Amino acid sequence: MTDINFYIPGFLNEFPEFTNYQPWNFLPELSSILLQRIEKTDSNFDVKNGIAIHKTAIVEGNVTLKAPIIIGENCFIGAHAYLRDGVFLGKSCTIGPCCEIKRSIILNGSTIAHFNFIGDSIIGNRVNFEAGAITANHFNEKTIKTIL
């Protein structure tokens, strides 16, 4: 079994549901886990149609959110961002204007600058993506998996 905490310290503290999973099996299960978590959110979240937004988060205008999504405490989502197909943002994450985030986990304090695409990815704590980066798992169909 691959130790995800070796690659992303503290990941299993945030997602204990994945303790017995290989990392490449996390994302196919993400939507169902997010929906379960959304049902259990407390009064610090505004919940509507499978989307939970912490009351301290800022979501600018013209942002498109497609459930399930959890946006954590003190997050910022810039104008024209597009989050879809299961997205988890930990505390104090920044998603810049015109970013697209698809089926991904982005942990605490990470910043995704403007004009980025993050797809089918797990991003650790305090990671910074500058403008125009593209990060996606294009090889999920491979039989042999590796972690970079």
pLDDT at residue 31 tops 60: yes
- Known catalytic membership, residue 114: yes
Q: What's the pLDDT at 49? A: 98
- Residue 141 within a domain: no
Whole-prediction pTM value? 0.92
- Residue 146 within a domain: no
Q: What's the pLDDT at 2? A: 84
Read off the tokens for 42.
Answer: 């407390």
pLDDT band at 22 (very low <50, low <70, confident <90, very high): confident
The stretch 59-77 carries a mean pLDDT of 99
Beta strands in 15-130 (DSSP E): 45-48, 51-54, 58-59, 64-65, 69-71, 76-77, 82-89, 94-95, 100-106, 111-112, 117-119, 122-123, 128-129
- Residue 148 within a domain: no
- Residue 142 within a domain: no
Question: What letter would DSSP give residue 23?
Answer: G
Tally the residues of the chain.
Answer: 148
Residue numbers of the domain that contains 47: 4-136
Q: What's the pLDDT at 145? A: 57
pLDDT at residue 142 tops 80: no
CATH number at residue 19: 2.160.10.10
Mean of all residue pLDDT scores within the chain: 93
Q: What's the pLDDT at 136? A: 81
How many folded domains does the chain comprise? Answer: 1
pLDDT band at 146 (very low <50, low <70, confident <90, very high): low
User: Pairing mode, if any, of strands 134-136 and 69-71?
Assistant: unpaired
Rounded Cα distance between 83 and 86, Å, is 8
Of 45, 44, 46, 21, the closest CA to residue 32 belongs to 21
Rounded Cα distance between 74 and 37, Å, is 18
Catalytic residue among 54, 80, 114, 138: 114
Percent of the chain scoring above 70 in pLDDT:
93
Cβ contact 89:107 at 8 Å: no
Q: What's the pLDDT at 24? A: 81
